[in-house]
Amino acid sequence: MGIELQNITKKFSDYTALDNISLNVASGELVALLGPSGCGKTTLLRIIAGLELPDAGKIILEQKDTTNLPPRKKNVGFVFQHYALFRRLTVFENVAFGLKVLPMRERPSRSAIQERVEHLLKLVQMDWAIKRYPSQLSGGQRQRVALARALAVNPKVLLLDEPFSALDAKVRQELRRWLRKLHDEIHVTSIFVTHDQEEALELADRIVVINKGRIEQQGTPQEVYDHPVNAFVYNFLGNVNVFHGRIKEGKVSLGTHHVDAPDELKHTEESASQAFVRPHEIGISKIRSAETDLTGTIQEVRIMGGQIGLNLACEGFEHPIDAEIPRELYVNLQLAKGEKVFVSLNRVRVFASDYEI
């Protein structure tokens, strides 16, 4: 096991940042800690690195209890959101830093350091900048150097704290793919923190969804996305339409629309519930294809690139519904603002109403 966290709890005065968190990360795995800001995910990462001490619990890195070790003895690579490169040192010196501060007898020779730094910079495709200073590099380039620096000391685990969030969208996406590829090459046990569900879904082997200091769900991106265990996870993993309805006799009524309640809620007595539909799981057509189709009017059309966003006022529904359809369909159906359409809710998820968005 690469990383084992046992019952980690951390309080800041009266506020509980982490509430009894236990988590295992296998060697060589790439795990995403996903959650809204303030959920405790960064605190957890900092605790693993030793930059914060937990109030209770144990951190075991590769079978070794490191709970009370200072960061410099943990052998953990940490990549910061804002790079945290040493401004007064060149790229070479930045990457070599971790090797040069080793005690004399463990320190590699000058030429070995040179070789390792060059190798790492090649790995992150920054070998051309070896003599530059951080201020001469762009954000994405700085983050690559920061990554090479963290890898220089052969860390047991690599921790990345929102590594791409300070970068612009295009670079972010590019670096994301590149990091996935790099991880497939070097297989270092890694945890990265993000609040961007797309990033987590695309990059991670496993996603751990955290909310208010607790783990809500963990699993592969597919599992988490397709089978969210509760309303929070469902909501956090993408855009949603929320309907407030009531469960009655195994059916949920949403306005004039009825759907089957999920098994675990079938036999509950009449109670409030929430139903969710993702915008891209809404069907739009000009012909009524099923009894349950809703009738709606297009109130607003948003061009979103490949997708077209529609804002629909539906009969029997208090709030407008957001739908996303492929551009092709939009063109084929010759839709426009003010048009009447039939709306089908293809995939409705119902959760008991114990969660407030």
Partner 1 sequence: MTLFQKKRRNILPGFGLSMGYTVFYLSAIVIVPLSMIFFNTIPMGWEPFIHAVTAPRVLASYRLSFSTALFAALFDGGVGLLTAWVLVRYRFPGRQFLDALVDLPFALPTAVAGICFATLYSPVGWLGETLTKWNIEIINTPTGIVVALIFIGFPFVVRTIQPVLEEVEQEIEEAAQCLGATRWQTFRKILLPHLFPALLTGSTLAFARGIGEYGSVIFIAGNLPMKTEIAPLMIMSKLDQFDYAGASAVALVLLVISFSMLLLLNAVQEWQQKEYR
**According to the binding rule CB under 8 A, does residue 171 interact with partner 1?**
no
**Token representation of residue 246:** 């009531």
Closer of 102 and 112 to partner 1 (Cβ):
102
Query: CB-wise, 164 or 232, nearer to partner 1?
Result: 164
Q: Which long-range contacts (CB under 8 A, 24 or more apart) does 141-147 make?
A: 142/83, 142/85, 143/79, 143/83, 143/167, 143/175, 144/175, 145/83, 145/85, 145/91, 145/94, 145/95, 145/121, 146/79, 146/80, 146/83, 146/84, 146/85, 146/94, 147/79, 147/179, 147/182
Query: Given the rule CB under 8 A, which of 142-150, 181-189, 192-200, 335-343 is the region that contacts partner 1?
Result: 142-150
- Pick the closer one to partner 1 by CB: 125 or 136: 136
Q: Which is nearer to partner 1, 76 or 335 (CB)?
A: 76
Q: How far is the CB of 320 from partner 1 (least distance, A)?
A: 44
Question: How many degrees, rounded to 5, is the angle at CA 34 between CA 149 and CA 355?
Answer: 160
Using rule CB under 8 A, residue 10 touches partner 1: no
Residue 67 engages partner 1 in binding (rule: CB under 8 A): no
**Are the C-beta atoms of residues 125 and 177 closer than 8 Å to each other?**
no
Q: Which bin fits 50, alpha (ψ -120 to 50), beta or left (φ > 0)?
A: left
**Residue 330 binds partner 1, judged by CB under 8 A:** no
Mark residues 38-57: x for contact with partner 1 by CB under 8 A, - for none. -----------x-x------
CB of 171 to partner 1, least distance (A): 20
Q: How many Cβ atoms from other residues are within 10 Å of residue 308's Cβ? A: 20
User: Binding string, 280-309, against partner 1, x = CB under 8 A?
Assistant: ------------------------------
Minimum distance of partner 1 from residue 113's CB (angstroms) = 13
User: Which of these ranges, 36-44, 54-62, 94-102, 110-118, lies near partner 1 under the rule CB under 8 A?
Assistant: 94-102
Cα 49 to Cα 28: distance, rounded to the nearest angstrom: 17
**Binding residue count for partner 1, defined by CB under 8 A:** 30
Based on the shown chain and the rule CB under 8 A, indicate whether residue 326 belongs to the binding site for partner 1.
Answer: no
Structural contact between residues 3 and 157, judged by C-beta atoms closer than 8 angstroms: yes
Alpha-carbon span 126 to 78, nearest angstrom = 19
Q: Does 134 bind partner 1 (CB under 8 A)?
A: yes
Tell me the two tokens of residue 118: 């060059």
* Out of 6, 60, 62, 80, the residue judged to bind partner 1 by CB under 8 A: 80
| Cβ contacts of 56 within 8 Å, gap of 6 or more | 7, 8, 9
| Residue 71 binds partner 1, judged by CB under 8 A | yes
Does position 70 bind partner 1 by CB under 8 A? yes
| Interface residue with partner 1, options 3, 47, 150, 231 (CB under 8 A) | 150
Tokens of 35: 């959650």
- 50, 56, 132, 49: which is closest to 93 by C-alpha? 132
Q: If binding is defined by CB under 8 A, does position 101 make contact with partner 1?
A: yes
317 is a site residue for partner 1 (CB under 8 A): no
Q: Does 166 bind partner 1 (CB under 8 A)?
A: no
Q: Using the rule CB under 8 A, which residue among 88, 105, 170, 340 binds partner 1?
A: 88
Contact between 333 and partner 1 by CB under 8 A: the answer reads no
* Closer residue to partner 1 (CB): 20 or 75: 75
Q: How far is the CB of 33 from partner 1 (least distance, A)?
A: 18
Q: Using CA of residue 88, residue 94, residue 98, residue 104, what is the dihedral sign? A: negative
**Residues in contact with partner 1 by the rule CB under 8 A:** 49, 51, 70-78, 80, 82, 84-88, 97-98, 101-102, 133-135, 146, 149-150, 152-153
